[in-house]
């Protein structure tokens, strides 16, 4: 059986361990997660192992990115199982801080990133990217990795943390990895665990609708019409759509010219579960 990775919960222990890796001449890649790891996270950790000699995975369910009415308290917490999965990948270190280590009493700082955080998720979860940018900024400063690996599943988040690292000169190269999907197209997500059998059967409609819209746009259909059809397909199965949108794939700004790179993004509620997905055109 593979050896479990070492787990540290204190910033000073993280820094000492990463300092040791760097003293060996190793490059370090960080994979920030909230735990409840699935094959998508495992792929991120494998990517980290491919691009750096030492790999750190952080596991922290970050309270500042959840609004009071959201699923912070029921978010799955599965540390032991997570460690076994990371052992199989050969991850060197797990950083699992407590909430007070991350946010000591009186904590009052917050990082806000403009640009790619405008619209989409922010229209429905206005607190979200401030919380993500704050915790990811802290993780980058605490760990000081050379690389950080994020999934394209949270495409807007990937753009926000890329901009965060660049604009604040954090010196971390952000690497994105394509979404890992179930055979029926459903994007892997820790929140899929909330779905009952019937909901699980319906959930791939978001991907199917986006894929059809992407095909239509590639065949010359106007993006607006393709997006409206995708929205209708998703709503027809009873989901409540927050947004389906075609955006510039680099900036996430609304489309202006016909030749720009396009990304289709969607978020919808299936019962009490909010699912998001996106695909390139």
User: Annotated binding site for (R)-pantoate: which residue ranges?
Assistant: 65, 157
Question: Which of 110, 277, 112 is closest to 210 using CA atoms?
Answer: 277
Smallest distance from ligand PAF to CB 259, Å: 31
Q: Which residues of 227-240 are buried (b: 16+ CB within 10 A; e: fewer)?
A: bebbbebbeebebe
Q: Closest CB to ligand PAF among 172 and 209?
A: 172
Cite the active site residues.
41
- In angstroms, what is the C-alpha Rg of the chain? 19
The secondary structure element, H or E, covering residue 206 is: helix 205-218
- Which DSSP string do the residues of 87-143 spell out, in sequence order? HHHT--EEE---HHHHS-TT--------GGGSSTHHHH-TTHHHHHHHHHHHHHHHH
Q: Closest CB to ligand PAF among 139 and 216?
A: 139
Binding annotation for ATP: 34-41, 151-154, 180, 188-191
Smallest distance from ligand PAF to CB 255, Å: 26
Nearest-angstrom CA–CA distance, 60 and 95: 8
Q: Closest CB to ligand PAF among 190 and 199?
A: 190
Q: Closest CB to ligand PAF among 21 and 60?
A: 60
Residues 6+ away with beta carbon under 8 Å from 116: 156, 159, 160, 163, 251, 252
Smallest distance from ligand PAF to CB 188, Å: 12
Q: Closest CB to ligand PAF among 85 and 212?
A: 85
Q: Three-class SS of residue 185?
A: coil
Smallest distance from ligand PAF to CB 74, Å: 16
In contact, 217 and 67? CB cutoff 8 Å: no
Smallest distance from ligand PAF to CB 162, Å: 12
H helix and E strand count, the chain: 10, 9
**Footprint of ligand PAF (CB under 6 A):** 32-34, 62, 65, 132, 135-136, 154, 157
């Amino acid at each position: 059986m593979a050896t479990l990775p070492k787990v540290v919960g204190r910033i000073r222990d993280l820094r000492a361990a990463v300092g040791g890796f760097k003293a060996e001449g190793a490059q370090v890649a960080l994979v920030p997660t909230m735990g409840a790891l699935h094959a998508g996270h495992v792929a991120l950790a494998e990517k980290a192992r491919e691009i750096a000699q030492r790999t750190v995975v952080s596991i922290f369910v970050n309270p500042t990115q959840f609004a009071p009415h959201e699923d912070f308290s029921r978010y799955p917490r599965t540390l032991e199982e997570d460690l076994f999965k990371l052992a199989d990948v050969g991850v060197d270190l797990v950083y699992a801080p407590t909430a007070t280590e991350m946010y000591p009493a009186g904590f009052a700082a917050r990082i806000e990133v403009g640009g790619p955080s405008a619209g989409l998720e922010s229209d429905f979860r206005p607190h979200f990217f401030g919380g993500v940018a704050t915790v990811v900024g802290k993780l980058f400063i605490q760990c000081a990795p050379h690389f950080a690996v994020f999934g394209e599943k949270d495409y807007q988040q990937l753009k926000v943390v890329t901009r965060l690292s660049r604009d604040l000169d954090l010196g971390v190269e952000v690497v994105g990895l394509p979404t890992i999907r179930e055979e029926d197209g459903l994007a892997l997500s820790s929140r899929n665990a909330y779905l009952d059998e019937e909901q699980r059967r319906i959930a791939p409609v978001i991907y199917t609708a986006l894929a059809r819209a992407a095909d239509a746009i590639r065949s010359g259909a106007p993006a607006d019409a393709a997006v409206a059809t995708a929205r209708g397909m998703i709503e027809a199965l009873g989901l409540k759509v927050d947004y389906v949108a075609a955006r510039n794939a680099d900036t996430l700004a609304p489309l202006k010219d016909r030749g720009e790179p396009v990304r289709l993004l969607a978020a919808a509620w299936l019962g009490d579960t909010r699912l998001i997905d996106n695909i390139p055109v």
